[in-house]
Homo-oligomer: A and B are copies of this chain.
């Protein structure tokens, strides 16, 4: 079975529609998808950015938010800007990476729906716990596991992997032969590549 990785960052706006679309796109093509949460912060820090490039460069920020409005309208996804933007995504990423397979994908979509669908905070541990409960998980045990040293290291390694792959941002599709496709608008192309459709 063809495989691909879906790399995403919870603070990333374009990762939101991508996370909502990618499972169907992969299933349609028969691609087994691995969800790979990571943090852009360490990569941006190396580029000299101490904030989202969308805040540092207001022209790009204004364009992105209008683009997001159009994208979400077309997909019939709600869009509410979280305040502040970007949200601190560390806890969400640790929770997601502590889970496996479909549980990871499911909670990731719930986190995105809260953050960009309802403008909710990603730092509110009780709110994230409620989403874990809705997903059928034990919130206390899950959050404890997410904050365990070994899991923190797991997320650090994912960030190192992202750097080694040369990811320029999020979201990305990465194929087994090391090709990177960056952007919500490139999911189809990346998944097509994974099944040899060029």
Contacts and interface: CB of A to CB of B under 8 A. Distances in A.
Interface of A: 43, 47, 57, 59-60, 62-64, 66-67, 70, 73-74, 166-169, 179-183, 185-186, 198
A60 B186 contact: no
Task: Give the number of times this chain occurs in the complex, counting copies.
Answer: 2
Nearest to A185: B185
Given A43-B59, A59-B168, A63-B168, 16 more contacts: A47-B57, A47-B59, A59-B166, A60-B168, A60-B169, A63-B166, A63-B167, A63-B182, A66-B179, A66-B180, A67-B181, A67-B182, A73-B198, A74-B198, A183-B185, A185-B185
A166 B60 CA distance: 8
A104 B197 CA distance: 35
Given A47-B57, A70-B179, A62 B198 contact: no
Contacts of A47: 57, 59
A185 B14 CA distance: 15
Given A59-B166, A168-B63, A185 B182 contact: no
B57 A180 contact: no
- 9 shortest A-B CB distances, which residue pairs? A63-B168, A60-B168, A47-B57, A59-B168, A185-B185, A59-B166, A62-B166, A63-B166, A63-B182
Contacts of A167: 59, 63
